[in-house]
Amino acid sequence: MAATGPAYFGSFIVTSQVFYKTPLSFAIVNVKPLLPGHVLVCSNRVVPRLKDLSTAEVTDLFLTAQKVSKVVETVYGAQGLNIAIQDGIAAGQSVPHVHTHLIPRRFKDLANSDDIYALIESEAGDLDKLFRERDNSQLRPTEPSTPVKVAVEVNKEMVLSGETQSAVSIAEAESQVPGRGRAKFPTPLPDELRKPRTLDEMEKEAKILAKFMAEYDRNSKL
């Protein structure tokens, strides 16, 4: 990652949620993912609209989104991605800061595949509300969201284990071709059961994804 420093998503400090950073963009884990692996790629500069970014910033934002999408799709064993930008209040943007939603998808993960767009624009996807709830709660709640995601080490690779999220090493995931099995993608919980995650849970996921991003960068330079 590029040199670290305070990271802001709108007016919210998200430094501990950052798992990848370039000079012009950064990627963060989400407070309350709509589906497992739902992350955000944001411009470093806090501006509300895509048109407010320079050519260099736009280029970096989308190159970063492409790179992060490759990693989260592999890590979460997805078969595709929803990539969305709510560009302005009229488009449903709740935090006035350019950001791209990357949401790993699998066949039949929702009753209707297009339901994800309604979720993004619903109260469940209101990022301003979710980040305010995060900041208004205790910084480190003692009651974790359910079920708890735990970081474990398997074959010297950090992976996620738990009932709602799973991850595998990039090398292992890339070897899982159709007919040979794939990483299991969890059944999404109803919104009323999806609780905002604790800072500890988000930091754990961010650290794990940061390892995979670093591995991707190393392999890309070979």
> In what order do the strands lie in the sheet containing 99-105?
18-21, 25-29, 39-43, 99-105, 80-84
Does the annotation flag 95 for ligand binding? yes
Is 109 part of a structural domain of the chain?
A: yes
152 is in an annotated binding site: no
Bridge partners of residue 102, in order along the sequence: 39, 83
pTM value?
A: 0.69
Domain-embedded: residue 106: yes
38 is catalytic: no
Per the CB < 8 A criterion, the answer to whether 2 and 210 are in contact is no
Does 185 fall in a domain? yes
Q: In this structure, is residue 90 part of a structural domain?
A: yes
Any domain includes 1? no
Q: 93 labelled as ligand-binding?
A: yes
For the chain, 222 residues long, give each residue's pLDDT as a single digit of tens.
655 678 999 989 999 999 999 999 999 999 888 888 999 999 999 999 999 999 999 999 999 999 999 999 999 999 999 999 999 999 989 899 999 999 999 888 776 766 676 666 655 556 665 666 666 664 444 344 433 333 333 223 433 433 333 334 444 444 433 333 433 434 444 544 456 778 889 999 999 999 999 999 999 876
Residue 2 falls inside a structural domain? no
> Is 30 flagged in the annotation as binding?
yes
Q: Between the CA of residue 204 and those of 114, 151, 160, 161, 172, what are the distances in Å?
A: 30, 7, 9, 12, 21
The CATH number that applies at residue 53 is 3.30.428.10
Answer yes or no: is 25 within a domain.
yes
Q: What's the domain range around 209?
A: 8-220
The single residue listed with the structure tokens 């299991």 is 184
Q: Which residues make beta-bridge pairs with 50?
A: none
Q: Which pLDDT score is estimated for 51?
A: 98
Q: Is residue 3 assigned to a domain?
A: no
User: Of 38, 99, 149, 204, which residue is the catalytic one?
Assistant: 99
Name the token pair of 94. Answer: 């709740």
In the prediction, which pLDDT does 8 show? 95
Place of tokens 């990693």: 71
Total domain count, the chain: 1
